[in-house]
Structure 1
Amino acid sequence: MDPKSPVETDLLIVGAGPAGASLACFLARYGLKGIVISSAPGTARTPRAHINNPAAMECMRDIGLWDECRKLGHGGVFLRHFRWCETMAGEEYARVYSFGEGVRQGDVAATSPCWYLDLPQNLLEPVLVKFATTNGFKVRFDTQLIGFEEKGGGKVLCDVRDRVSGATYQISTKYLFGADGARSLVAQKLDLPMTEHPGGGMAFNVLVRADLSHLMRFREGNLNWCVRLERDYPFTCVGRMVKPWYEWIFVFFPKGPGVAAPERSEKEWKEVVEDYIGDPKVQVEVLDVSKWLVNETSANVISKGNVFCLGDAIHRHPPTLGLGSNTCIQDAFNLSWKIHLVLKGLASPSLLSTYNTERQPVAAQLVKESNDILRKHAEVWQALGAKGPGSSEEERMQGIRELRQNTPGGRQRRKLLKERIDYMQHETNTMGIQMGQLYTSTAIDASSEPRPFAPGPREASEPALYYDPSTYPGRRLPHVWLNTPVPGPLVSTLDIAGKGRFALFTGIGGELWKEAAQAVGEELGVEIKAVAIGIGAEWEDPYFEWMGVRGVEDDGCVLVRPDLFVAWRAESGGEELQRLGMVLRGILGVKDSASG
């Protein structure tokens, strides 16, 4: 090859974090090949993002990585509580169950075959990179994108630099993906319009090794909000478990926007952490100190032409709600099947525009919700007595003293604290935010629905907290456990669907839907896995849960996209071949072969 000629590829992903690496995995699952470049020297060296919710883990399950993830991560008791306390060893003011534990445990089990995991980014990324590189993708670290230009013929010409040798070269790609983080060069060069609000200041992550197992016996909690009102350094921090219970990140939030961030030596940070632990016998070793801005920025447009952005490139926010890497993974899952079908000539390029239509609102909501809940945390601290910069120790301690007093002021403050702690369910158990998306785009066909979507009663009353499963087009395929007529291991509807193909669910009397699925799939070159659910069918509904959520008659059908979202449903049978063919051609943006 001429050393001056560009490297040719179909797919170039910039960034090997959760967004870029997961996109490479999902594309590789389709047998596609491409290149991932990252300016970093390797995968993440510190924990960074850590909470993985069931929605994101369903994506990992779909490509066979769920078992590996759950072996590496921690769930259950290790995620049981959010706590508010004086210090890790000191007085506790309040706690709430979190991440599907306690009274909400049944909700998670009913919603997904997966569960919450604390799987830090430095453990997740190697899993993703290994899968991608063993399934057709090349990953090059220490390789920096320095520019790109869209050329004729649907090509994007990218200039890259090898950060080891300093050499520059070019990569020509059909599609470019900007998964290059909050300072995304791809988003910058595309000039994506952003909605940006003033930042919340500079926060610090202090990674330490400190054995707190003796403290956590009666304090099981992944996140421990410590409030040191008698100190003049940031009054609040959160002690986040990394490895139970001997490795932690202490996150120190700023006193407020515009307040200068403290410059501390490693020794000084060690002393601050020791103070927040509150047990002088604990040995603390500082492993890393990093800082980050509390951002509130989302992209109004997330793709242009053959260039797509995902992950932190399009949504920048604090880690509250724990949705950052989860949203990155789901961005990639949404985009990958569309790229596959268009690249293979099985769908019109217009299908790719639905990535923007479906995922941009999710990014905007995430940024707003995560910042709103951080502001709600400040209200908890205020109920405990925290005040703004410049307040005296006496002013700050007054609130804590009042909480203990049998006075009208004490009763009012306790009531206020309870109200604000109760609201924290909007961070710790947000099944509605995580699972309740409703996509509306040309890749969804709700034209035959008699009425607009209406959420179930719980979701309608508290849309952030609750998710009521539904097969309405644009909603997530409900998880239901199924079995064979002669019982064997239970199998989720999510395991029957997905796997890079469309799926069609019907019931007794729906044989013509299965025949139509085979015929339409063969005509369009798209695989459709069609199954019947019902007594005596290939899959049975032992708990009658599918009957309760399917939303169609026995001889109707539910069509599911490769990303496990409902594309369309038919109330009953009749004209199966014509109806299914028309719907799927509409989703793919292709013409009827009979019409030319």
Structure 2
Amino acid sequence: MNERTQVLISGGGVAGLTAALLLQSHGVRAVLVEKHASTSPQPKARRFNHRSNEVFRALGMSDAVAEASAPLASFAGMLTGPTLAEAKWPEITPAMQAGITQYGRMNDQSPAPSVLCPQDVLEPVLRRAAEDRGVSVRFSTELVSFTQSPSGITVALRSAGGEVSEVAADYLIAADGARSPVREALGIPRSGYGRLADNLDIAFRADLTDLVRDKKFNLCQIENPAASGAFVSVNGTDRWLFSTSDFAGSATLGDDGWRDLLRTVVGVPDLDVEVLSLMPWESGMYVADRYAEGRVFLAGDAAHAMPPLAAAGANAAIGDVHNLAWKLAAVLAGSASPALLDTYHAERHPLGYATAEFSSRVSGHLGTMIASVTSGEVPVDPVAALFGVQYDEGAFAPDTRGPAPSDHYAPGGRPGTRVPHAWVSPRVSTVDLAGPDFALLTSPGETHWTATAHLLGLRTVPVPDPTWLASVDLSPDGALLLRPDAIVAWHWSSDIPLSDACARILGHPAAVGG
């Protein structure tokens, strides 16, 4: 055996790189392999929501992500028209204004912003951070096979030069895309709506600064006889993407043909345009029936492929590995039993399926996505959908208050929900109090729980905000237990004692401290 590590990650995209950074933050040794020579050259996902940026914030990467997303910081909203030159902002109807108001409330619920940052810009930032922090990151290295036993995983890797080596690992994370070779090798079936649309993305370079000076858009829907689809801002100046439905003859159109088509849909006949790449892709819903098999865990597109509604797939991928990393760390450290890892599928699969299903109902391609959003119809409360989701079962001890509401945001500190945000100090949010270990949040001056927490090896943090304490139903003698991924694990209203809750969450009565 040539090498040994604790976790091997297959896939160097958003999911794999974020997993590597999270594992490193927990002190876990990881090796990341990616068969391609570099990160993705395609913009792909761009909208990284507040929850994803809370993860980057926890990793100390807020400044790096802000810098990477700065070129599109002022780009927002959706245009429609027969060409980009003729596109206009839609008329704001009362229904649309209500939707805008709902979305505007989201900024008040998080210490981190939602940003536009194309995937081909973000991934190099994540890669550099992982390498700088000592993660073994190996591009041009393909996972060709693996075997697992009750004691571990043996992985065969092939370098760009054809050399084959073996790595022994305790666990394997398959973040290797929608066509995941690891998932296929495990024989895990997928469910969902299947194929929805065949699409084609044309990345191009053209200086459109003057054209968009007064209409800095996120997306622009085009209805044109030459091609209908959507423009996407990549850097807001000279890098753009046009996404359209694939059509007969697209493979033989040629560079001149693509340049003419782009000039037509942009609406500038003499536009100086360079076609950078063409990427056919299938929009569809495919969710793995199992997110885990033995010591192998699926994450990102390997677990749930879905249409590109607000980068739902990429954001779900970050949520996957945020959920998984601390659990792997706890088991590897011996503070939790392997049974904790069963909760990864229990928590993430229902949410992944629901996200993919919702995304599929409103979008087969970007054009239908824009139409669904500009209609002004908001089928769910976006604040509740992003911040108020409650796991049905998993690594937490339920209380007796029933499920959190789904039609408005009021999680109340219920176990299985993300802890509500409030500023504890000018730079520290209650969300920031999560990790790398468990934390017991209490009222100021409380002493009973402090003594109990000490016996259990828990970190205790008083929260001085009376409004926040009321919002999570913490009286002066109350407390709630916060997981490393900012999910509430236990609430004092539970009929399960804190010590029993810790044992239930981790699989044995070991301390949950760091």
Using structure 2 for the length normalisation, give the TM-score: 0.92
Provide the rounded CA distance (Å) in 1 between the counterparts of 2:51 and 2:164: 40
Deviations 1:44-81 (A, max 9, x none): 22322211100100001011111210111048863420
Provide the rounded CA distance (Å) in 2 between the counterparts of 1:318 and 1:380: 9
Deviations 1:338-381 (A, max 9, x none): 00000011101000000000011121112211111115976799
Provide the rounded CA distance (Å) in 1 between the counterparts of 2:180 and 2:72: 35
Stretch moving more, 279-288 or 553-562 = 279-288
Amino acid at match of 1:515: A
Amino acid at match of 1:492: S
Q: Name 2:430's counterpart in structure 1.
A: 493
Q: How many residues align?
A: 509
Provide the rounded CA distance (Å) in 2 between the counterparts of 1:210 and 1:32: 44
* Structure 1 residues 263 and 530: alpha-carbon distance in aligned structure 2, compared to 1, 3 A threshold: farther
Q: Name 1:177's counterpart in structure 2.
A: 173
Provide the rounded CA distance (Å) in 2 between the counterparts of 1:118 and 1:336: 25
* Structure 1 residues 246 and 95: alpha-carbon distance in aligned structure 2, compared to 1, 3 A threshold: farther
Provide the rounded CA distance (Å) in 1 between the counterparts of 2:238 and 2:434: 39
1:18 CA drift (Å): 0.5
SS of alignment partner, residue 296 of structure 1: strand
Q: Name 2:243's counterpart in structure 1.
A: 251
Pair 1:431 & 2:383 matched: yes
Provide the rounded CA distance (Å) in 1 between the counterparts of 2:288 and 2:138: 27
* Structure 1 residues 30 and 582: alpha-carbon distance in aligned structure 2, compared to 1, 3 A threshold: same
Pair 1:549 & 2:471 matched: yes
* Structure 1 residues 175 and 91: alpha-carbon distance in aligned structure 2, compared to 1, 3 A threshold: closer
Q: Name 1:582's counterpart in structure 2.
A: 500
Deviations 1:407-454 (A, max 9, x none): xxxxxxxxxx9x983345469x833333232113341111xx333114
Q: Which of 215, 221, 241 matches 2:233? A: 241
Q: Name 2:12's counterpart in structure 1.
A: 16
Kept after mapping to 2: 8 A contact 1:179/1:310:
yes
Q: Name 2:446's counterpart in structure 1.
A: 510
Kept after mapping to 2: 8 A contact 1:585/1:592:
yes
Kept after mapping to 2: 8 A contact 1:210/1:247:
yes
Provide the rounded CA distance (Å) in 2 between the counterparts of 1:420 and 1:158: 44
* Structure 1 residues 570 and 75: alpha-carbon distance in aligned structure 2, compared to 1, 3 A threshold: farther
Pair 1:347 & 2:356 matched: no
* Structure 1 residues 490 and 133: alpha-carbon distance in aligned structure 2, compared to 1, 3 A threshold: closer
Provide the rounded CA distance (Å) in 1 between the counterparts of 2:34 and 2:139: 5
Provide the rounded CA distance (Å) in 2 between the counterparts of 1:331 and 1:77: 26
**C-alpha RMSD of matched pairs (Å):** 2.8
SS of alignment partner, residue 146 of structure 2: strand
Provide the rounded CA distance (Å) in 2 between the counterparts of 1:116 and 1:101: 17
Kept after mapping to 1: 8 A contact 2:245/2:365:
no
Q: Which has the larger radius of gyration?
A: 1
Kept after mapping to 1: 8 A contact 2:309/2:369:
no
* Structure 1 residues 275 and 191: alpha-carbon distance in aligned structure 2, compared to 1, 3 A threshold: same
Structure 1: gaps of 5 or more residues: 382-416, 461-465, 484-488, 522-527, 534-539
Amino acid at match of 1:156: I
Q: Which of 38, 42, 67 matches 1:46? A: 42
Q: Name 1:131's counterpart in structure 2.
A: 129
SS of alignment partner, residue 80 of structure 2: strand
Provide the rounded CA distance (Å) in 1 between the counterparts of 2:367 and 2:264: 21
Q: Which of 282, 292, 301 matches 2:271? A: 282
Q: Name 2:397's counterpart in structure 1.
A: 445
1:105 CA drift (Å): 5.9
Provide the rounded CA distance (Å) in 1 between the counterparts of 2:491 and 2:137: 40
SS of alignment partner, residue 291 of structure 1: strand
1:263 CA drift (Å): 3.9
Provide the rounded CA distance (Å) in 1 between the counterparts of 2:46 and 2:208: 19
Kept after mapping to 2: 8 A contact 1:27/1:337:
yes
Structure 2: gaps of 5 or more residues: none
SS of alignment partner, residue 150 of structure 1: strand
Stretch moving more, 85-94 or 14-23 = 85-94
* Structure 1 residues 91 and 481: alpha-carbon distance in aligned structure 2, compared to 1, 3 A threshold: same
* Structure 1 residues 513 and 93: alpha-carbon distance in aligned structure 2, compared to 1, 3 A threshold: closer
Provide the rounded CA distance (Å) in 1 between the counterparts of 2:195 and 2:120: 26
* Structure 1 residues 146 and 379: alpha-carbon distance in aligned structure 2, compared to 1, 3 A threshold: closer
Q: Which of 274, 288, 306 matches 1:299? A: 288
SS of alignment partner, residue 294 of structure 1: strand
Amino acid at match of 1:494: V
Pair 1:482 & 2:420 matched: no
Kept after mapping to 1: 8 A contact 2:230/2:366:
no
Using structure 1 for the length normalisation, give the TM-score: 0.80
1:323 CA drift (Å): 1.3
Kept after mapping to 2: 8 A contact 1:319/1:370:
yes
SS of alignment partner, residue 210 of structure 2: helix
Kept after mapping to 2: 8 A contact 1:46/1:121:
yes
Q: Which of 106, 109, 134 matches 2:107? A: 109
Matches within 5 A, 1:51-200: 51-74=47-70, 78-92=74-88, 94=90, 103-104=101-102, 106-152=104-150, 154-163=151-160, 165-200=161-196
